[in-house]
Structure 1
Amino acid sequence: MSQKSKVIVIGAGVSGLTTALVLQRNGYQVQIFAEHFPGDSNINYTSPSAGADWRSELISIPNLSNLEAISFKTLWSLSEFPETGLMRLQSFTYMDEKPKLNGDPWFKDLVPKFRVIPQRNLPKGVEYGCSYTSITVDVPKYLRWLQTQFIDAGGKIKRVHLSHINEALDEDVDIVVNCTGISARTLGGVEDDTVFPTRGQTVIVWAPHVKKICTRIGADYITYVIPRQDGVVVLGGVLGKPDQKTAESIIKRCTELCPELALGKEYLEIISNNVGRRPSRTGGIRIESELRKNSKGKDIIVCHNYGHHARGYSTSWGSSSKALELIETALKTEQINAKL
């Protein structure tokens, strides 16, 4: 790998920031092109609106589970440092319908203190439950930390709106990484029609006494309670159209799932209501590379890393490591072809 390889990462969500940091730390000269950065608020800038905690499906999913495992190990190590905004807490997952597992969940030996909750201790209407130590993310703090780490490592940022990926290819670069999330559907030269928005809504409340993650999953809903390092708690979730009635439903479901939220009070101290558009994709996350020519005929490696839906934080380090692997493989192939 050439120490002089120049990279543009498009997008400054959790995937873009993490990928840029990984590449910068591995000797690349990286610049982030993005319309929105940490501290901004926009319905299409999803990362700041996320829950977020490390959570996975109970059944192993090829490729995806490996990305989640890599990410868990990295997030776990980073959670030793309070400045990251990451925090270790016990997580309780309840399922209304017992999952068809061949044994225990795939991550049993990955996460600390895993146990299956006895049936007698499950909430009414729940058929399966498990608990383990997981990680929550104070999203605003963590995104700022990623950006600061990237800049301190020598990375650069540029606020810009791109209408076509060729605008990045025509810069003085060797590699472009597409981490545009929901914008991958409309970005010229990509226009991936398998990308679609999944609406989400959360309610942020002040409840510093809550020190556990709770998740309940039904046939057509998910309810979650995710404490953050700064004392606020994120309540969710929803897959349909967000509105005030949805917010009221979220609060009702979350206080039933985690009664200590209310501390006997009639009303929770609500800080904000957040609405976001998760970058979903038919077929799952796209992490793949290709070779394109810019307007001057120069070969540019383009690596795509988008379509994470609600798994952006849970897969961020694994996805970034995979993108790095694809880029380095493409560079070696270019070098071999140049010698032939």
Structure 2
Amino acid sequence: MSRKNRVNVIGAGVVGLTTGLVLQKNGYKVKIIAEHWPGDLSINYTSPCAGAIFSPHEFFDERYEKIQNVSYKTLWELSNMNDTGVIRLPNFIFYEKDPHIDVEKLFKGVYHEFHILPKNELPKNVDYGISFTTVTIDVPIYLRWLLNQFTSAGGVTQKAHLNHLNDADEPNVDFVINCTGINARNFGGVDDDKVFPTRGQIVVVSAPHIKFAKSLQEEDGTYTYIIPRECGEVILGGTMDVNNYDTTPDPKTAESILNRCIKLCPELTQDKDLSSVHILRHVVGLRPSRKGGIRLETEVRRNSVGKDVIICHNYGHHSYGYIMSWGSAIEALELIKSVKSQKEARL
């Protein structure tokens, strides 16, 4: 019997954990190497900061659309299971001005209970709106669930700070999967100057009575959203600050977020004033954005001792990490299977 191919995954964010789990369950012997793990808080560890709602985005690339749809179907199935932190709820998306996108193509036939909202169901000064049933993810619970699934399937973990791709190239390792996220910009052997941070600030409140998600996209680019979690917390956001590395929550931004969210969702106050909103914490995260989109490809590199190492890159997901995680992981699996077949054919 041939030995299992060994894979080292760099990074334990949602993309790294999902990729490691998919590969481990498909016959590979996987180790995830990362400095930060579920339960840790660091500005260099983006996944715990995410709002994590499945709200589809319009992509002009059929590959992206496929990746997104695979992820939605998987997360929908996970919402049937206990302890995943994934739940279903109604989602209402409003646009201040008609976005003139093909919503029928983007939503209908894939997302459950999709409707274009009639004018009389739209908030004041809103031109267009849709609704459908979506999933939201309680991030701390979900990340721990992914990790537990990975280790239960036989996956191995290593807590370590790596400085270079070569640091993950161990004897008998066949593939290295690069899921370094925002760190890909300065990670040795990658140094991808196309990667940049898009700062996001959110306010987390306790509002277990909110059982639906809402968002509003304004013409000037302002994006307001309300995302409930299974535990009763609600994520209020947000911001999209390109190339902003500031890690400190800004009080004026927090005040703006609260006012925008209460205007969009008056139910937050339960007919009381702003002071009745129970604020739990303020959070800042750096989305791993990348010019040109996700880098999802393989390459062969010769390391310092003359060995050819197969690298699969899977990073640059911007704010789509949870939305794209399962589809990206399966795409990575297909890529390394293809490389493996080509390699075996040459032998």
Does the pair score TM above 0.5? yes
Query: 1:76 — aligned with what?
Result: 76
Query: 1:247 — aligned with what?
Result: 254
Alpha-carbon separation, structure 1, partners of 2:110 and 2:257: 30
User: 1:279 is matched by which residue type in structure 2?
Assistant: P
1:295 aligns with 2:296: no
Alpha-carbon separation, structure 1, partners of 2:304 and 2:58: 47
- Measured after TM superposition, the shift of residue 172 of structure 1 is 3.5
Q: How many residues align?
A: 338
Query: 1:23 — aligned with what?
Result: 23
Alpha-carbon separation, structure 1, partners of 2:159 and 2:96: 45
Alignment of 1:127-206 (within 5 A): 127-206=127-206
Work out which of the residue numbers 260, 268, 271 in structure 2 matches 1:261: 268
Query: 1:318 — aligned with what?
Result: 327
- Measured after TM superposition, the shift of residue 75 of structure 1 is 0.3
Alignment of 1:3-14 (within 5 A): 3-14=3-14
In structure 2, relative to structure 1, the CA distance for the partners of 1:113 and 1:334 (3 Å cut) is: same
User: 2:251 is matched by which residue type in structure 1?
Assistant: Q
CA deviations 1:287-324 (Å, max 9, x no partner) are 00011223333322100000000000000000000000
SS of structure 2 residue aligned to 1:113: strand
Alpha-carbon separation, structure 1, partners of 2:337 and 2:198: 33
CA deviations 1:100-147 (Å, max 9, x no partner) are 234624121101110000112111121110000000000000000000
Query: 1:225 — aligned with what?
Result: 226
CA deviations 1:256-309 (Å, max 9, x no partner) are 111111112322100110000000000001100011223333322100000000
- Measured after TM superposition, the shift of residue 2 of structure 1 is 5.7
CA deviations 1:145-183 (Å, max 9, x no partner) are 000000000001111111111111244411000000011
Task: Confirm or deny: 8 A CA contact 1:170 1:294 kept in the other structure.
Answer: no
User: 1:244 is matched by which residue type in structure 2?
Assistant: P
Work out which of the residue numbers 289, 298, 316 in structure 2 matches 1:280: 289
Listed as ranges, the gaps of 5+ residues in structure 2 are: none
SS of structure 2 residue aligned to 1:82: coil
In structure 2, relative to structure 1, the CA distance for the partners of 1:53 and 1:102 (3 Å cut) is: closer
Query: 2:237 — aligned with what?
Result: 236
CA deviations 1:47-67 (Å, max 9, x no partner) are 000001101125654321111
Alpha-carbon separation, structure 2, partners of 1:146 and 1:2: 28
SS of structure 2 residue aligned to 1:144: helix
Task: Confirm or deny: 8 A CA contact 1:3 1:27 kept in the other structure.
Answer: no
Alpha-carbon separation, structure 2, partners of 1:301 and 1:69: 28
Task: Confirm or deny: 8 A CA contact 1:58 1:105 kept in the other structure.
Answer: no
Task: Confirm or deny: 8 A CA contact 1:59 1:105 kept in the other structure.
Answer: no
CA deviations 1:66-99 (Å, max 9, x no partner) are 1110000000001101210000000000011102
Alpha-carbon separation, structure 2, partners of 1:208 and 1:46: 25
User: 2:344 is matched by which residue type in structure 1?
Assistant: Q
Task: Confirm or deny: 8 A CA contact 2:56 2:106 kept in the other structure.
Answer: no
Alpha-carbon separation, structure 1, partners of 2:150 and 2:102: 42
Task: Confirm or deny: 8 A CA contact 2:69 2:110 kept in the other structure.
Answer: yes
The Cα RMSD (Å) is 1.5
User: 2:148 is matched by which residue type in structure 1?
Assistant: T
User: 2:113 is matched by which residue type in structure 1?
Assistant: K
Percent of pairs identical after alignment? 51
Alpha-carbon separation, structure 2, partners of 1:319 and 1:306: 9
User: 1:293 is matched by which residue type in structure 2?
Assistant: R
Alpha-carbon separation, structure 1, partners of 2:335 and 2:46: 25
Q: Normalization by structure 2: what TM-score?
A: 0.94
Query: 1:333 — aligned with what?
Result: 342
Listed as ranges, the gaps of 5+ residues in structure 1 are: none
Alpha-carbon separation, structure 2, partners of 1:201 and 1:222: 12
Q: Normalization by structure 1: what TM-score?
A: 0.96
In structure 2, relative to structure 1, the CA distance for the partners of 1:4 and 1:193 (3 Å cut) is: same
Alpha-carbon separation, structure 2, partners of 1:92 and 1:249: 21
